[in-house]
Amino acid sequence: MKNIFFRIFLLSNLLTLFFFPVHSQENKILVRVENEIITSFQLKNKIRTSLILSNQEVNQENVNRSKNQSLISLINLKLKKIEIEKYKIEPDLKKVNEQLKKITSNNLETFKADFKKNNLDFDIFLEEIKIQNAWQKLIFLRYNNKVNIDEKEIENEIKALKMNKTEIEEFKISEIEINSSEKIKNKENISFINEQIDKIGFEETAFKFSISTSSINKGDLGWVNSKALSLSIYDVLKKMKIGEISKPFIKNDTILFLKLSDKRFSAPNQINEKQLKESLITQKKNEMYNLYSRSHLSKIRNNALIEY
């Protein structure tokens, strides 16, 4: 196993120099991730892109607040890029284009023009979307044979609900997931995410900073059946009001924020067994794929040579 070297020499002071305009300072190497590098230009471009797309003012205060999560995001992207190149995984360009249409409200040329006007590199933004798409493909290919759902168990659960005349409870939720580290850093990162949610909203924060595969859809998980949720998450969601955001769930290696957008109940006689079964299977599979995605990224991060 390779050692992880964190040579942080005046990094915070150094990063405060990376303010706009983008080309005003010499382009320097900030971090080496194996054979990949993260430069001051890439970090500035990432910070400015996040701020401008979320309609935040590009000032020193906002830059300073964004730089830590932006740097973590770039490191994760480099790790994912190395891994997808290792397995020769190519992005699904059709899905990439569909995602671009969604992000740009089907007005790509105007979106590109805004990038040019603000001295931002659209190609870097596009590359991030391609990497995230290819990463999803990699996780599916690597772990698909391990994602096994007991369909008989699900069928029995549904039959029990109908027999007991139990209402089906569903939650429409979105998520933000970030890396967890030592307690002090966790407090800083949680504070940063909460500030971003206040400023730009939950969805934009998920899109820009969440490490979950759902980030590409701005954290949207759609309607989730209560039976597909862990007890700890269900206990929180059932007490939340619509529009409310949960306190962070701190796990071993990640921190999770949830937003409740809506909830509904279906009477037992309204249950479509086939649809409910398909929904539960999809939800359970997605949960397992996300688990494998987090685990795989954590594994390669722990084995990677990362030099500041």
DSSP assignments along 61-86, one per residue? HHHHHHHHHHHHHHHHHHHHHHHHHH
Q: What is the pLDDT of residue 25?
A: 53
- 217 neighbors 129 (Cβ within 8 angstroms): no
Which CATH class name applies to 151-303? alpha beta
Q: What is the pLDDT of residue 184?
A: 66
Identify which of 54, 80, 50 has the alpha carbon closest to the alpha carbon of residue 67.
50
Structure tokens at 150: 């007991």
Domain ranges for the chain, please list them. 11-142, 151-303
Both ends of the chain: CA-CA distance in Å?
Answer: 19
Q: What is the pLDDT of residue 238?
A: 95
- 108 neighbors 101 (Cβ within 8 angstroms): yes
Q: What is the pLDDT of residue 177?
A: 92
Q: What is the Cα–Cα distance from 102 to 100, expressed in whole angstroms?
A: 5
Cβ count within 10 A of residue 199: 16
- 51 neighbors 58 (Cβ within 8 angstroms): yes
Q: Compute the chain's Rg from CA coordinates.
A: 21
- Topology given in CATH for the domain delimited by 11-142: Triger factor/SurA peptide-binding fold (1.10.4030)
188-to-69, 144, 179, 291, 303 alpha-carbon distances in Å: 10, 36, 12, 24, 25
- pLDDT truncated to tens, each residue of the chain (308 aa)? 444 333 333 344 334 434 444 444 578 999 999 999 999 999 999 999 988 888 888 999 889 888 888 898 899 999 999 999 999 999 999 999 998 888 888 899 999 999 999 999 999 999 999 999 999 999 999 999 999 999 998 888 888 877 887 788 999 999 999 988 766 678 888 999 999 999 899 999 998 888 887 887 889 999 998 988 889 999 999 999 999 999 999 886 789 999 999 999 988 777 788 888 888 898 889 889 988 998 999 899 999 999 99
Q: What is the Cα–Cα distance from 98 to 303, expressed in whole angstroms?
A: 34
Q: What is the Cα–Cα distance from 244 to 175, expressed in whole angstroms?
A: 12
Q: What is the Cα–Cα distance from 213 to 139, expressed in whole angstroms?
A: 10
